[in-house]
Amino acid sequence: MKRREQSPEHSITKRGKKKTSRLIAERIDIDYFKRLHPFRKRKRLLSVGALALAAAALLIYALTGDSSLYSGGPLSAPHAFLEDNCRMCHPGAEFGSFWLSTTDQACEQCHTGPTHHTNQIFQDQIGAQPPCSDCHSEHRGRQLQLSQVSDVNCIQCHESLHFDSTLTPPASSSSDSDKKTSVFQRPAAGYASSITSFERDHPEFRLLSERRTDPAQIKLNHEIHLRAGLTGPQGVVQLQCKDCHVWDSRGSYMLPVGYEAHCQSCHPLAFDERILEEAPHEDPEVVEAFVRTLFFEYAGDRPNELRRPQTPHPARQLSSLKKLVEEAPQDLPGWLQKEVDSALALLFEEKCQECHQMTGLEAPIPTVPSPAIPAIWFSHSRFQHDAHRMLNCLSCHPQVSRSTQTQEVLIPGRDLCLQCHNASVGAPAACATCHRYHDPFLEEQGPGVLTLEEVIGE
């Protein structure tokens, strides 16, 4: 026979009383929370102790002047020397603070930071720009490159560009690269109203989209110079790009091509087979005076013979060629003047004209326009040849071997750059890879306003 189960309300205690819910509740001490349990007492002591230790640590740091406690992390390498001098960037940080941010004024003690465009609109203000710290965030380690800002900083304006057209500077000309003015000039076709990435919607480079020509006043045929079988001073040669185009010390841009370094060996300015000295590669006035002086000195008192020089002309050694313009003899004998005229005709009408756009050849001394060869083509961006050193020159400049006219612009276009600078290949394609925000021509070069003691924190 099964035993009948009883509910808790009808259960019987050992003393014979029914075990009801009320009896069970009476066993609970309802005042337990008024007395500290040993565990809760220890927990409270530990909490108070931790706060006391933290306060003591802050007091010690303040009394010793050590502000490393407040640092958000290591500074980038260029700013590492300021790591123990917080007040240089955080005014008011003499006694330490966890919430003091830097100011634009602090940054501008060392960095000019000129405006990107005078007509730009940021937060509905004409000419305003974001705070420095919005784009250049410090305390992220020694390897941080502050100039490599995130595309987000650029896209916040360039995704939907707004500017005041009344303040727009005039369109730039082909000779802007020679002017010491802002390089951020308005494109002939206007600004691109929306750019979100180089790979997605960046326009073609202006030099190519506007079909500009090379403004250089010089004659150069790349196709001829790259031909096989050219005759040089030491025999047959095969010229390479690097024979004339050499990187600067930073590996960024090409150094200017110089006559003495790159041209003279194949294009000497000899003017008479009896005279060893070559004419200097200088202004026509200097060349004329130099030739006149050499004929006068070499002839001397032997009108029937021009003697070979025993030593180079002292003017070449002392780098004082321009003094010859005033010192050169003027009244030469007729026979000697003919020698001078013949030599000058050879130089001005043949040799100089191989490369230069000579004018005024009918005058006693012609005019040679400045070559005006652009040193930097992409003045609105930056480029690093050293980063591309693994590539053959013709990989990026394929048209060079076919170029016969100086006016041809031989720079690569956007499509060629995109072959490497895209997400699939992996070459960097961020805005800051090629572009700079601050106008470099408007940056002040110094001197600064700080003393050495202020910089090192003494």
Per-residue H/E/C for 23-66: HHHHCCCCCHHHCCCHHHHHHHHHHHHHHHHHHHHHHHHHHHCC
pLDDT average, residue stretch 210-216: 90
Whole-number pLDDT of residue 77: 93
Half-sphere exposure in the Cβ direction for 104 (13 Å, CA): 11
pLDDT average, residue stretch 189-195: 81
Whole-number pLDDT of residue 433: 93
In this predicted structure, the answer to whether residue 230 has a pLDDT above a threshold of 50 is yes
89: DSSP letter: T
pLDDT average, residue stretch 265-269: 92
Kindly indicate the confidence band of residue 221, based on its pLDDT and cuts at 50, 70 and 90: very high
The amino acid occupying position 212 is: R
In this predicted structure, the answer to whether residue 120 has a pLDDT above a threshold of 90 is no
Kindly indicate the confidence band of residue 442, based on its pLDDT and cuts at 50, 70 and 90: confident
Tokens of residue 163, six digits: 């500017």
φ and ψ of 142, to 5 deg: -65, -30
Kindly indicate the confidence band of residue 152, based on its pLDDT and cuts at 50, 70 and 90: very high
Identify the top-confidence range among 98-102, 149-153, 169-173: 149-153
Tell me the sheet residues that pair with 359: 367
Per-residue pLDDT reduced to its tens digit, 345-400: 999 999 999 999 899 988 889 999 999 888 888 877 889 999 999 999 999 999 99
Model pTM score = 0.69
Whole-number pLDDT of residue 429: 94
Tell me the sheet residues that pair with 232: 235
Chain centroid to Cα 104, Å, comes to 22
Question: Please, are residues 96 and 67 in contact by the beta-carbon 8 Å criterion?
Answer: yes
Question: Please, are residues 61 and 434 in contact by the beta-carbon 8 Å criterion?
Answer: no
Helix (H) or strand (E) holding 125: strand 125-126
Whole-number pLDDT of residue 438: 85
In this predicted structure, the answer to whether residue 98 has a pLDDT above a threshold of 90 is no
Kindly indicate the confidence band of residue 414, based on its pLDDT and cuts at 50, 70 and 90: very high
* Contact residues for 156 (Cβ-Cβ < 8 A; gap 6+): 130
Tokens of residue 161, six digits: 């560009």
Average pLDDT, the chain: 81
